[in-house]
């Protein structure tokens, strides 16, 4: 059973799927931020720039970048789409983002939009893990070993297959599906951050998290 379809806003040139990408990035920006009063969390500034834009910068060298979230201005070259239904959660948003990738795209970074400390070096380290053909994806983990599933890089084919299996098991819908359920059948490498600087896996779920991230960027 196919994954949920997505409505999309064409990027420059108005076309999708015109070439095969070496790798792509999907940034998920559709959360409701209930713990922060329902604000548009990805647009909150950290270090003087919206968190969403900082994440997009960390994947600036991707062949294709997709932002999944409400309509609004996006940086040049970024493709915009919305999960179906709107607010349907990160799994539905993942399906929406994948629907915009050119056929044959081998790998994709799947990232939350509230990772203001993410760096290109961290993304590169994750991508390097896919040199092992036995691995379907790689995620950063925090110092306590907790996986950060929306700070990872994946092979597109097994990720699509996992979405199809999950949709079939849920009667054709991905609305409200859990990321843990999506990843349950995949071979995932959990990767501690070994680089220097602030933790790139740090996500901002509260006002205090935003304050801490702001301090790290000074």
Cβ atoms of 118 and 217 closer than 8 Å: no
- Domains along the chain with CATH numbers: 7-216 (3.90.550.10)
Q: How many CB atoms lie within 10 A of CB 173?
A: 16
> Does 7 have pLDDT greater than 80?
no
Nearest by Cα to 42 from 69, 64, 4, 11: 69
Q: Which helix (DSSP H) or strand (DSSP E) does residue 49 occupy?
A: strand 49-50
Q: What is the structure's pLDDT at 5?
A: 29
pLDDT tens for each residue of 101-111: 999 999 999 99
Q: List CB contacts of 168: < 8 A, sequence separation 6 or more.
A: 1
> Does 97 have pLDDT greater than 80?
yes
pLDDT tens for each residue of 124-154: 999 999 999 999 999 999 999 999 999 999 9
pLDDT tens for each residue of 183-213: 999 999 999 988 788 999 999 999 999 999 9
9 preceded by a cis bond (ω within 30 of 0)? no
Report the alpha-carbon distance of residue 174 to residue 168 in Å, rounded: 9
Cβ atoms of 46 and 214 closer than 8 Å: yes
Residue 6 — pLDDT band, cuts 50, 70, 90?
Answer: very low
pLDDT tens for each residue of 63-95: 999 999 998 888 899 999 999 999 999 999 999
């Amino acid at each position: 059973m196919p994954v949920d379809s997505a409505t999309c806003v064409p990027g420059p040139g108005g076309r999708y799927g015109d070439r095969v990408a070496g790798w792509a990035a999907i940034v998920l920006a559709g959360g409701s931020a209930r713990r922060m009063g329902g604000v548009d969390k990805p647009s909150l500034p950290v270090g003087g720039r919206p968190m969403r834009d900082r994440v997009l910068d960390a994947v600036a060298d991707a062949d294709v970048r997709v932002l999944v979230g409400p309509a609004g201005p996006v940086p040049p070259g970024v493709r915009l789409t919305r999960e179906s239904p709107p607010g349907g959660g990160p799994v539905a948003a993942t399906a929406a983002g994948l629907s915009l990738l050119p056929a044959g795209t081998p790998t994709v970074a799947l990232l939350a939009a509230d990772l203001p400390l993410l760096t290109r070096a961290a993304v590169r380290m994750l991508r390097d893990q896919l040199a092992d053909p036995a691995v379907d994806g790689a995620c950063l983990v925090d110092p306590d070993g907790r996986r950060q599933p929306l700070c990872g890089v994946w092979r597109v084919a097994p990720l699509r297959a996992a979405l199809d299996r999950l949709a079939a098991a849920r009667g054709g819908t991905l609305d409200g599906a859990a990321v843990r359920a999506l990843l349950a059948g995949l071979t995932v490498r959990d990767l501690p951050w070994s680089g220097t600087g602030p933790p790139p896996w740090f996500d901002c779920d509260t006002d205090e998290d935003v304050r801490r991230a702001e301090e790290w960027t000074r």
